[in-house]
Chains A and B, each alone.
Chain A
Amino acid sequence: MTKVRFLRATALEELRANIRINLGAYRTGSFSEVSADSSYWFEHDIEFDEGALAALQPPVDGKFFEVENCAIVYRALSELSPYEARDERLWVYLSHTVLLQHARARWPIPADDDAATKHVAKHFFARDKRQVERDNVGSRLWWMAHLCARISSMDHEQALRAFLFRSDVRANLVERPTTSQCSDLFGAIVRKLATSLDGEKQLFQRSMFRRLMTEINSVGGYKLLDCLPYTQLEGILDEIIVNRLQLKSL
C-alpha cells in the first residue's frame, strides 16, 4: 500500500498552464518528475492500492468496463472519504502518474493540438464539480462507485450495473442533487432500475425514466421524502410505476 499524494497548488497550476507545451508527454511520454520530485506533492495519512489502480481495464472493441473499473478504483482507494475525493489536487496527481496510461487508452487524445489541449484539461484535471463527477479519468469512477456504495443491502456491482446502464438515466439521477444525495431514495430508484435491467428495460427508456423522476418530484413537493422509511419509499415508487406510469412490468 502507498500513501496518497496531493499535488501542491503551485504544481497543479503549472501543469494546467502548460498543457499545450506538454502535449507530447500526455500523448506518449511521462510525467516522472511529478512523482520523483517531492516538491510537487504532499502526502496524506491514508493509503491506497497503487498496483490495483494501475490495472484498470482499457477499452476493448467499444466496451469500456465502467462497472469493473468503478469497483477497482473504489476498492483501491477504500480509505478515501468524500472530503478528500472532492479535491482536484489528488486526482490530478493520479491522472499524471499511476492513471496516465489508462487515461490515454480510455480518453484518446486528439491529433489536433487545440482539441487535444481542451481534451486534456477536461479529462486529466478536475476543476469544478462537473469535472470531478463526470470527466476526470479517476474521480468519475470513484464518485459513481461511491453513490452506489451508499445503498444498503444491495450488491455493489449489481447497483453499478443498473446505475451505469444508460448515460441519460445516470445523468438524470446525478444532476438532481436532492435525489442523489438522499441515499434511501437513490437506493430505491436504483433497485427498480436493477429489476428493470433484468426484465424488459422499460425504465431505461428516456421518456419513461424522466416521467418517473417528474412524478417522484411531485410527491416530494409536499412530503419530506428524507423522513420516510425505506419501505414507504418503495411503496411510493410502486404506486408511481403501476398507477401513474401504468407499467404492468418493468
Chain B
Amino acid sequence: MPYTAETFQNEYLPDGGTEVNAIVTVTSTPDGPVAAGATSVIIVDCSGSMETGGRIAAAKAAARAAIACIRDGVRFAIIAGAGQAQQIFPQTGTLAVASPQTRDQATAAVGRLEARGRTAIGSWLTEAAGLFAQRPGDICHAILLTDGENGEQAGELEAVLQRVGGTFQCDCRGVGTDWVVAELRKVAAALLGTVDIVADPAGLTADFEAMMTAAMGKVAADVRLKVWTPVNSSVRFVKQVEPTVADLTGKRTEDGPRAGLYPTGSWAAESRDYHVCVDVRAGQVGDEMLAARVSVVEGGTVYAQSLIRAVWTGDAALSTRINKQVAHYTGQAELAQVIQEGLEARKAGDDGTATLKLGRAVRLAAESGNAETAGLLAAVVDIEDAATGTVRLKKRVAAADEMALDTRSTKTVRVGRAK
C-alpha cells in the first residue's frame, strides 16, 4: 500500500559535530482491498489462579467478544494456556476459516474452558507460532491474556521469544495484579505488540473487542524501515516514538552494503514517528552529507523514502537550534525510562531515587502535555509542583495504579498537543 515518509530535523551541525538526529514520520494511505490474508490466535490463561474473582468467566466473555469481531475468511484458533498449551478450537494443529458457523463453534468451545494448572507462557507462544507458520505472508496477530507470573524455568521464555520473534505480533494483557509487568513487556517488545493492564476483569470484553477490531483493520503485514548510512557512520538507535516508545535498534537485520532493515510489524491506515540517531564522521564547514536514507519497505518493495542530512556550519545560530520534534520525542523516551526506573527504585525501597525519577517524570509529562501519563503519575505520587518536578511518594499506592503507570509509561503524545 502507499506510504509517505517525512523527515523533521535540524540538519545543521557545528564544526566537528558528529551526532545526527531526526524524526521520520511514516504514514500509510491504504487505497484498495486488503492484499494480505490474516490469521488470529487467541491465547487465554487457564491456570488455577484464574478462578479468583470471576476472572475465568470474564476471560470467556472477552474471548467470545473477540471471536465476534473476526472478519469472514480470516484464519483463527483458540488456545487454552496452562502447564502446557491446549488448542481448544479447531482441532489441534489446524486453523479455522471464520464464518458465522465457525464463530459459533469457537464460542461454544470457549464455554468449556476450565481453570486449572500452571502458567507456561513460552509453551503457549510456541504453540501459536506453529499455527502461524502454516500461513506465511499473512498478517499474523495473537492476543495473550494472563493473570500470573510465568512458571517456566528461567531463560525458557527468553529462548522462545528469540525463536518466534518477528513471526507474529502479540498484544499482551494482564488481568488482576499478580502478573509481572516486566515479563509481559518483554513478550510484547519481542513480538512488536502492546501491553496493558486490565485491573478489573469486567473491563476485558471491551479491551478484547478493541484489540481484535484493530487487528482486523491491518492491511499490510511485515512493513520494515530500511536505513542506509554512509561509510564511517553507524546507526546509534532507531526507536519508534509514537504512538508508543519501542526501541528497534536490536532488531536490525543487514540488507546489502551499509543498510539494515528494522521490523515495524503490520500496518492499518495510520501514522507513526521514528527517532533515528546516526553517528557520522565530522565534515568540513560547508560540507553537506547524506547521513541516512530511510525507506519504507513492504514485501521487498520501496514505497517511500526520506533523507536525513548533515550540514556543517560555522553559524552557531543555526547549529544550536533544537528541532522541536527531536526535542519532544527525546523527552517522551526519557519519560518512559524515568517512570520505569522510578518504580523499580520504589519497589527496591530506594525512596530517594524513586522521588527524583518520578519527579522528573511528572515534569516531563507536564511540559510535553502528556495528560494521560500525568494522570497515572498522580496516582503514585503527590505532586507539589509539576513545573519543577517536586513530588512526594504516596504512602499507600494501589498495586493496579502502579502497574497501570508502568505498562502505559511508553505511551507518547505528538508534538503540538501540549497546551
The answer to whether A binds B is no
Binding site for A on B (CB under 8 A): none
Binding site for B on A (CB under 8 A): none
